[in-house]
Structure 1
C-alpha cells in the first residue's frame, strides 16, 4: 500500500466540504483511504490514529490531503482529483442570494429564518444585517464571544425576533426542522425550548414515538440560560409558545438558578416539564414537573395531557458472562446532551465515570484516560476543531469504538447513534470491524421516516452484536447494570 500527501497552504475550506471531498476520493478505484482536513494538531493526531503517517511541521493554516492507495500512480490520481475538487467545489448551487436580498424575499406572514454556519468571527455582522432586514436567525456556529451574543439577543428581543444560538444545533419551526432534526410523524401543538441540540432531538423523538405531537422547538444555544445572557431568548420563546401551544417542555444543562426560577414562575398553569439534564432531584411546582431525565420528563408530560402514564421501556436482555479481567466502561457519544445524561445515570448507579464534559468537575479528564471509566463527548471542541462534527462524519467517532472493542480490559462500550436531517446518511459507517468481546450497548435517536431508517440501522447494529435501545437513558441504565 502506497501513501502520498499534499499540503495546500493559506486556504480555508469548510470542514463539511472537505469531508465530502474525502468521501468522493475514497470512491475512486484503487484508493483505500482518503482524508482532506485542516491541518490542526488534533487532525494530524487523528490521521495517525487511523493509520496514516503524515509529515511533521505542517502549518495549522493549511489543508492536508492524505491518500492510501494500491500504487503510487493511484495516489497521484487521487491527489490531483482532490485538488481539483477543492479548487472548483463539489456542490453547485442553482440560485444564490445575498443578505441585501432579504427584504425582498420576506412576505408579510412569513416566519423568515437565516441559517448561519460560518466561523464564529463572521457571525456578528451577518446576524446584525439579518435582524435589520426583519429575519430571525438560527446560529449553528460556535465560538461567538459572549458579549456579542448578549448584544445580538438584546437587539433581537427588542425587534420581536429570535436569535437562536450561537451553538444551536436544532430547532423546529411550525413542524419544519432546522439543523439536526428528525422526521417526526405525530402532529400536535406541544412546544419545546432547549439549550441542547441532541437533548431537543431525543426529547422530540421520544415524544413523537409516544403520541405527543410537536409544533415548535426553539433552540436558544448553550449559553442562553447562563449569566450574563440570563435567558433572554428562553423568556421570549416561552411567551411565544404560551400563545400557540397546549404544553411546553424545557430541556437544558446547568441553568443559572435565577434564570431557572424566573422561567418556572413564568410557566404558570400551562402543563409543562423542565428537564435539567444531570439533576438528581425530581419535584412538582405548580403545573410543572422538574426532572433531570428525558424519559421521565416525557412520561410525566404524557400523564399531564392524557396520553398514558409512562413510556413503555424495553426489557433488558439476558445478562451474559463476562471475564473478570474486563472492568472498564468506555462511552463515546456524538450527542453532548446524551453524554451528560448518561454520566448522571451511571453515577447514580455507583459507576463513577470521567468525562471531558463532566456533570461534576471532580470527574473532569483531559486526553489521558486509557485506564478510566469514561463518557466522552466526541462532538466537543477539542475533537471537532478543523473537521466536521461526528454526527456529520461518523467515522471519526466510530473508529474510536472499533479500537476500544479490541481491548481485553473493556467490559462495556456505550454509544449513541443519531439519525435525521443533517446527520450522515450512514451513521454507523466505519463499524464493520467492531468486536463483540466487550458488551456493546447503543441507543438510536430517530424515526422510521428519517432518511437513514430506524429499523434498518437497528438491524445492522444488532447483526454486529450490539444491544440496542430506543432511548439513551435506557441504554445507560443497561450499561450500568452490566458493570455490577
Structure 2
C-alpha cells in the first residue's frame, strides 16, 4: 500500500490514491462502503473500486483518475480520495481496514461453507442444482458457462452482460435442459427459498414467470398478504422478451410450471415485449393446461381467451391469481395420480358426458355458463323444466324449478327425486362426470350428504365415474359444513370449495379425457430430470458473489456454499484464456 498524490479537482485539494494489491472485494459492498465514507468530514469525494478497466473508466468520468491507477489490475483494491489533508486520508484508510476486518470476522462466524474454486464447491455440495452469480458483468458469462458445464441452472443477477453472451448462455442451457435466469435477474423464489431481491412468501399453488423483478415482488407480496402462497417465481431478465433473445427463458419457465404438480395457476408479468415475441408467448399460454394470468405492463389487456386472463395492474394480477387458485384446489393432474379410474376412462372415447343435477337455480345457471363457454355449446335463453344446458351430452338441470316441485318438496328439503336422476345418469356408460350441489342451512334437509354418499359409493363401485360436489354453507349451520364435506369425501366424491371451482375442474377433466397426453408425458426424459430438479425441492446453491444472498438461502431451508470468487490470472484476460485452455 502506498499513497500517491495528484492535484485535486479545481486545484484546491489533492487526490490521494491507495492501492491494496490482491485484495478482491465484492462490488456491491464497496459501493456501500464508498457511500458511508463520503459522509466523513473533510472528505470531498471518495471512490473505492476494484482495478478493472470498466472501473478505471468510472474513475475518469468522476474526475478521480490518477496515473497510479495505471498499475492496478482487476484483483487490486483501489481507493481514491479528494481530501483536504493526509491525516483525513489516514483516518479513511483505518475505516476501510476496519470494514474489511469486520467482513472477514463475520464470515468466519457464519455456518455457511466458504470455498475458493469450483472444484471445492462441488466437493462441499455435490447435489448442487443452482448457481447464483452476482459478480462484475465482464466476468459473469464465463462463470455462468462453468456452471452450465456442471449441469447447474443459473440465476444471473449480474448486469452489464452483452446480448451476445446472453443468447449464447440461454441457447446452451436450452440444449442441456437447463435454465438461465437473467442477466440482470433481480428476483426468484423456489420452494419457499428467496433468491436475490425477493420477499418471504408462504408456499402455495401460484407459480410466477416474470421479466420484471419488482413486478414479481409486488404481485407475490400481495398474494402473500392476502393469504395465498407461491410455488415458485422464475425471473427471466429484462431482455429475454427482446426479438434477439426470443423469450427462451420465459417459454421454458412456463413449461416448467405447467409440469409442476404444486402449481395450479401460472402468473406472467412483463413490460411490453417485442410484438412477435408477445404473440409467441401468447401461443405458448394456449398450450398450457393450467389457467394463466398475464399482465403486459403498459399494454391494455386483451379480452380473456382459452385459459388466459389478462389484467391491467399488478394488484389486479394478484387478485385474479388468488381467485383462480382457491385453497386446496384440485387439478386433473392430481386426480390422474390419485384416481386410477380416470386413466381407464381415457381409454373409452365415448365416456365424455357431464351431467349437473342441482337444487340451486343460480348454481345450475353458473355451471351451465362455464360448460357452455368451455366447450362452445348451444346457449338457451329460456329454461323449460329447469334445463339450463342440453347439448352434445352435456346436461345441467335445476331440480328446484316449478316443473319438479309440483306435488313434491323442494330438492333442498327432499332430495329423493334428484337422487333418482343421479342413479340413471351414473348407469349411462357415456357419463363421465356428475356435478352436484349441496345447499345447507336452516330450512334445508338435515343431512343431504348422508343421502348422497351411499348413491355415490354404489355408482363408483359399479363403474368408472367421477362425482364432483360443492357445499354451500358454513360451519355454524345446523348441518355443519365440515361434517357434510367429510361425508362426501369419504364416499369417493371430490369436494370443491365452490360451485365455479367444481365446474372448472369438470372442464379440466374432460379436456384431459378428450385431449392428447399432457406435455409432461411426452417430454424428453434425458433433459426433463435436469430441468425439474430445480422445482422438485428446496434449491442447493453455489453462490458466487454477494454473501447476503447465501444467508437468505440458508435461512429458508436451502443448502448453500459461498464461492469466494476472484478473477483468475490477476484479472489479465489474455492469461486467463490461456489458463482456461490448459485445464
Q: TM-score, normalised by structure 1?
A: 0.53
Offset, 1:177: 0.8
- Which structure 2 residue ranges, 5 or more long, are not aligned? 1-11, 50-54, 73-77, 109-113, 328-545, 550-555, 557-583
Offset, 1:169: 0.8
Secondary structure in 2 matching 1:190: strand
CA 1:101/1:251 → structure 2, altered by over 3 Å: closer, same or farther? Answer: same
2:64–2:81 CA contact under 8 A, matched in 1: no
Aligned to 1:279: 299
Aligned to 1:7: 17
- Which structure 1 residue ranges, 5 or more long, are not aligned? 47-53, 308-391, 393-420, 423-448, 450-484
2:156–2:181 CA contact under 8 A, matched in 1: yes
Q: Is residue 2:39 matched to residue 1:21? A: no
Given candidates 260, 268, 277, the residue that maps to 1:250 is 268
Secondary structure in 2 matching 1:189: strand
Q: Provide the aligned C-alpha RMSD in A.
A: 3.7
Offset, 1:265: 2.5
Aligned to 2:209: 193
1:249–1:274 CA contact under 8 A, matched in 2: yes
More helix by share: 2
Offset, 1:176: 0.4
CA 1:187/1:84 → structure 2, altered by over 3 Å: closer, same or farther? Answer: closer
Distance in 1 (alpha carbons) for counterparts of 2:142 and 2:65: 37
Matches within 5 A, 1:362-373: none
Aligned to 2:250: 234
Secondary structure in 1 matching 2:217: helix
Q: Is residue 2:95 matched to residue 1:75? A: no
Aligned to 1:453: none
RCO comparison, higher one (Cα < 8 Å, 6+): 2
Q: Is residue 2:223 matched to residue 1:223? A: no
Distance in 2 (alpha carbons) for counterparts of 1:201 and 1:88: 34
Deviations 1:78-97 (A, max 9, x none): 22314535887834544224
CA 1:37/1:285 → structure 2, altered by over 3 Å: closer, same or farther? Answer: farther
Matches within 5 A, 1:13-162: 14-22=26-34, 35-38=46-49, 63-66=78-81, 75-82=88-95, 84=97, 90-91=103-104, 93-94=107-108, 95-107=114-126, 112-162=129-179
1:271–1:305 CA contact under 8 A, matched in 2: no
CA 1:18/1:229 → structure 2, altered by over 3 Å: closer, same or farther? Answer: same
CA 1:107/1:132 → structure 2, altered by over 3 Å: closer, same or farther? Answer: same
Structure showing greater Rg: 2
Aligned to 2:425: none
Aligned to 1:211: 227
Secondary structure in 2 matching 1:225: coil
Secondary structure in 1 matching 2:304: strand
CA 1:76/1:120 → structure 2, altered by over 3 Å: closer, same or farther? Answer: closer
Offset, 1:294: 0.7
Distance in 1 (alpha carbons) for counterparts of 2:170 and 2:242: 13
Aligned to 1:311: none
CA 1:167/1:59 → structure 2, altered by over 3 Å: closer, same or farther? Answer: farther
Offset, 1:205: 0.7
Offset, 1:220: 1.1
Which moved further from structure 2: 260-269 or 86-95?
Answer: 86-95
CA 1:133/1:26 → structure 2, altered by over 3 Å: closer, same or farther? Answer: same
Offset, 1:26: 7.8
Q: TM-score, normalised by structure 2?
A: 0.44
Aligned to 2:356: none
Aligned to 2:321: 301
Matches within 5 A, 1:340-379: none
